[in-house]
Amino acid sequence: MPTYSNDRTCFSRRGALGLVAGAGLLLAAMPAAAQSTAQGQAHVEAAMRDVLAVVNSGKSTGQAVNDFQRILSKYADMAIISRSSLGNAWRSASDAQKRAYVAAYQPYLARKYGKRFADFKGSSFAVTRVRDAGNKGVLVEGEARVPGRAPIAVEFQVSNRSGSIKIYNLIIEGISLLSSEREEIGQMLAARGNNIDKLTADLRTAG
């Protein structure tokens, strides 16, 4: 399998979430349309090439964040991820609130994780296994190597249920970072009295 080297990738448990961004997807509610394992692998490998290129570019934090936001738009299913990050509150939100939240959430994720790229240098990523997982879509398993750390097991969950192949979840050493993000957003919402408008306003400058 191809290996992508770079000046330190975003594969800590928080940093890795940056690649897909998102929150707590309920897989049973997300049947995946059919796609080939080859397509899923190619999508993940392309995403990792782009991420590692930014990490290794030496760009300023602001430039890296902007680049990462474009990567999220291209490779991650941000419609599903944004909706899932808000959890049950999404169902009670108005259409205007949903639009405002989605518009604030993706840049927040890009800032939150993209600003950490410079801290990860000399890393590599290689795909180790790809399999068709039925309703979970295609699972692309890989290994991240960060200097000074043990190899990290990574699993990308890929689906084309939104019309094109996108990453909708990332699991690091058995932990769904999307679920972790959903929990964090839930805590932020609770701290604001479950006021979605306040949460959205704060996300515009958070990260």
User: Averaged in consecutive runs of 10 residues, what is the pLDDT profile of the chain (207 residues)?
Assistant: 46 48 34 69 95 86 93 93 93 97 95 83 88 91 87 92 90 88 96 98 94
CA distance 21 to 10: 12
Structure tokens at 147: 């200097």
pLDDT at 182: 94
Contact 128, 21 (CB under 8 A): no
User: How far apart, in Å, are the Cα atoms of 58 and each of 35, 66, 100, 122, 180?
Assistant: 36, 14, 32, 13, 29
pLDDT at 35: 59
pTM of the entire structure? 0.79
Please, what are the domains in the chain? 3-203 (3.10.450.710)
b or e along 21-32 (b: 16 or more beta carbons within 10 Å of the residue's beta carbon)? bbbbbebeebeb
CA distance 48 to 70: 13
pLDDT at 29: 34
Structure tokens at 148: 């000074």
At 63-119, the pLDDT tens digits run 999 999 999 999 999 988 899 999 999 999 999 999 999 999 999 999 998 888 877
pLDDT at 198: 98
pLDDT at 14: 52
pLDDT at 155: 95
CA distance 74 to 107: 14
